[in-house]
């Protein structure tokens, strides 16, 4: 197969933990061609979506994790599959990319995750569809409503709807002297909607990332355990990743959501679960493949490439 990965700049990817690189390497070991595309090079003209594509060999290590084989400007239909793997922020340019990818899809390109599904599934707001698995949650922009939520619950987690990696997430208590300024900052004085969720003490045991591949749960999660004094387990915020077998509740949530999400073309999904509660549904560029494989021997990247091979057969 000829696979294209739309990624962040290659020089910034970290081979020791990057899930996209893990998939590239798994594909290359099977003899598939690996190409990469930078989102700014996507363009549409006269019915054709194309991009500058870099053909690479991802077999190196550390900073030199890849070598360049060649480059071409190609229509996306020239690839057997295109994987959209760029990290948020999910801004207007990200939305434009999903529009262009949707046009490529209409012309016959296979795009994963499905661009319309990426666009329709806010990684925070998508939780509202599966509220039975979620903690008490508020999505609002009115500061008074958010303050009333904090007063009711005593403490809450506040976060922007477009963040990632634990950025701008606040643990706010009823008597927090900085509470007003936190709400003002996150909502831009009532101009921007945010998410508020009941604080879950189980975060001390880890924020579990459960991966779904083509509608099937990976049998292990990665529990991202906060460092001392933190309430964020994200690896980018200093959390420590510990692989664990899925609990009965983890599997219940995964099995309930997986068929619906896969039916929408979401090949790779990352569910975030704290304790027994679903807190986020990640669809842009879910990670933790490498850490799970290293600690358990279960090759998540290989499972993803298996799924791609089935879809492109």
Please list the active-site residues: 124, 159, 209, 224, 232, 272, 280, 282
C-alpha distances out from residue 83 to 38, 131, 288, Å: 12, 29, 17
Rounded Cα distance, 50 and 14, in Å: 27
Residue that has been written with the tokens 């550390």 in this structure: 62
């Amino acid at each position: 197969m000829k696979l294209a990965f739309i990624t962040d700049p290659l020089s910034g990817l970290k081979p020791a933990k990057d899930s996209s690189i893990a998939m590239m390497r798994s594909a290359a070991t099977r003899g598939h061609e690996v190409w990469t595309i930078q989102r700014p090079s996507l363009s549409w003209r006269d019915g054709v979506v194309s991009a500058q594509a870099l053909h690479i060999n991802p077999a190196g290590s550390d900073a030199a994790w890849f070598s360049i084989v060649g480059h071409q400007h190609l229509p996306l239909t020239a690839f057997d599959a295109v994987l959209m793997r760029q990290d948020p922020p999910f801004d207007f340019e990200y939305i434009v990319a999903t529009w262009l990818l949707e046009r490529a899809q209409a012309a016959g390109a296979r795009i994963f995750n499905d661009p319309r599904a990426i666009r329709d599934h806010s990684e925070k707001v998508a939780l509202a569809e599966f509220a039975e698995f979620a903690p008490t949650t508020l999505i609002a922009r009115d500061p008074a409503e958010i303050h009333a939520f904090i007063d009711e619950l005593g403490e809450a987690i506040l976060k922007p709807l477009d963040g990632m990696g634990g950025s701008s997430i606040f643990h706010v208590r009823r008597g927090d002297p900085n509470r007003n300024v936190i709400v003002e900052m996150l909502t831009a004085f009532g101009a921007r909607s945010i998410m508020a969720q009941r604080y879950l003490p189980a975060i001390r045991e880890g924020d579990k990332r459960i991966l779904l591949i083509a509608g099937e749960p990976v049998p292990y999660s990665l529990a991202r355990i906060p460092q001392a004094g933190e309430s964020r387990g994200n690896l980018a915020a200093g959390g420590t990743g510990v692989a664990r077998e899925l609990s009965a509740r983890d599997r219940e949530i995964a099995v309930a959501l997986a068929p619906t999400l896969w039916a929408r073309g979401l090949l790779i999904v990352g569910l975030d679960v704290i304790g027994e509660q679903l807190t986020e549904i990640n669809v842009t560029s879910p990670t933790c493949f490498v850490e799970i494989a290293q600690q358990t021997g279960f090759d998540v990247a290989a499972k993803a490439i298996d799924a791609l091979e089935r879809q492109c057969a």
